[in-house]
C-alpha cells in the first residue's frame, strides 16, 4: 500500500523541484504546486475510502522489523481521522495554491512562496500521519520553522516579520507544553 506515501511525497517533491529550479522556470512553478497538491487531494480521498472500508493502514519505514523496540521508529499511521485530515489539508492547500497564482503574480519571491507552501503541506500531512510521539515532535518543529518562513515571506514588511516572530515564540511555548 504505497498510496499514503505518495500523498506525502507529491508536495515534498514539488517543493524541492520549485525550490531548486524555480528561478529557471517561473511560468511552471504554480502549475507544479497545484498539480502536486491536487494529486495528493485525490489520493487522500481514495485513502479515506480505503481506510473506511478496510481499516487503518500502518507501516514502518525504519526499522524494518516491527518487533524492534527502537524509539526512533519512522513510519505512517492512517486511520479514518488521519484520512479526513489529509483530505482537509490537501483541499485547503490546493485552494491556497490556486488563489496564490494571481495574487502573487509579478512578486520577486514567487517561486520561493510556492516552494514553502508545498513544503508546508508536506510537513502538515506528515504531522497528522505520525505513528509515534517522536515523529510528531519532529514534524511539529518543522512546522514551526515552515510557518515562520512563510509568514516572514515578505521580509521587507516589518509587521509581517514581527508577526512571524510572535508565531514562532508561541510555538516555542507549545514545545514546552508538548515536552511536559
pLDDT in tens, 86-98: 999 999 999 999 9
Residue matched to cell numbers 511560468: 27
pLDDT at 66: 58
Q: What is the mean pLDDT of residues 17-42?
A: 91
Q: How far is CA 136 from CA 71, 77, 123, 132, 148, in A?
A: 12, 11, 10, 6, 18
Q: What is the value of pTM for the model shown?
A: 0.90
- How far apart are the C-alpha atoms of 33 and 13, rounded to whole Å? 9
Q: What is the pLDDT of residue 132?
A: 85
Q: Is the pLDDT of residue 65 over 60?
A: no
Name the phi and psi angles at 33, rounded to 5. -65, -45
Q: What is the mean pLDDT of the chain?
A: 88
* DSSP string for residues in 96-164: HHHHHHHHTTT-TTHHHHHHHHHHHHHHHHHHHT-SSHHHHHHHHHHHHHHHHHHHTSSTTSHHHHHHH
For 18, 47, 156, 170, the CA distances from 72, given in Å and listed in that order, are 30, 26, 40, 26
According to DSSP, the residues that pair with 76 across neighbouring strands are 59
Report whether pLDDT(81) > 70.
yes
Domain borders along the chain are 3-65+72-132
Closest by Cα among 83, 96, 80, 101 to 28 = 101
Instruction: Enumerate residues 6+ apart whose C-beta is below 8 A from 59.
Output: 1, 75, 76
- Rounded to whole angstroms, the Cα distance separating 180 from 127 reads 19
The confidence score (pLDDT) of residue 64 equals 54
Q: Give yes or no for a cis peptide into 63 (omega within 30° of 0).
A: yes
Q: How confident is the model at residue 75, as a pLDDT?
A: 83
Is the pLDDT reported for residue 7 higher than 90?
yes
The pLDDT score that the predictor gives to residue 175 is: 82
Does 60 have pLDDT greater than 90?
no
Amino acid at each position: 500500500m504505497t498510496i499514503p506515501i505518495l500523498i506525502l511525497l507529491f508536495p515534498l517533491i514539488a517543493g524541492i523541484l520549485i525550490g531548486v529550479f524555480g528561478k529557471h522556470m517561473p511560468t511552471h512553478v504554480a502549475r507544479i504546486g497545484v498539480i502536486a497538491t491536487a494529486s495528493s487531494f485525490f489520493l487522500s480521498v481514495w485513502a479515506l475510502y480505503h481506510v473506511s472500508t478496510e481499516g487503518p493502514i500502518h507501516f514502518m519505514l525504519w526499522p524494518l522489523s516491527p518487533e524492534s523496540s527502537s524509539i526512533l521508529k519512522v513510519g505512517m499511521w492512517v486511520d479514518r481521522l488521519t484520512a479526513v485530515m489529509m483530505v482537509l489539508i490537501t483541499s485547503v492547500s490546493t485552494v491556497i495554491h490556486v488563489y496564490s497564482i494571481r495574487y502573487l503574480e509579478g512578486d520577486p519571491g514567487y517561486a520561493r512562496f510556492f516552494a514553502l507552501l508545498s513544503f508546508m503541506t508536506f510537513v502538515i500531512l506528515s504531522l497528522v500521519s505520525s505513528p509515534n510521539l517522536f515523529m510528531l515532535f519532529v514534524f511539529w518543529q518543522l512546522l514551526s520553522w515552515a510557518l515562520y518562513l512563510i509568514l516572514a515571506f515578505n521580509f521587507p514588511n516589518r509587521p509581517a516579520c514581527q508577526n512571524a516572530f510572535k508565531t514562532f515564540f508561541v510555538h516555542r511555548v507549545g514545545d514546552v507544553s508538548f515536552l511536559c
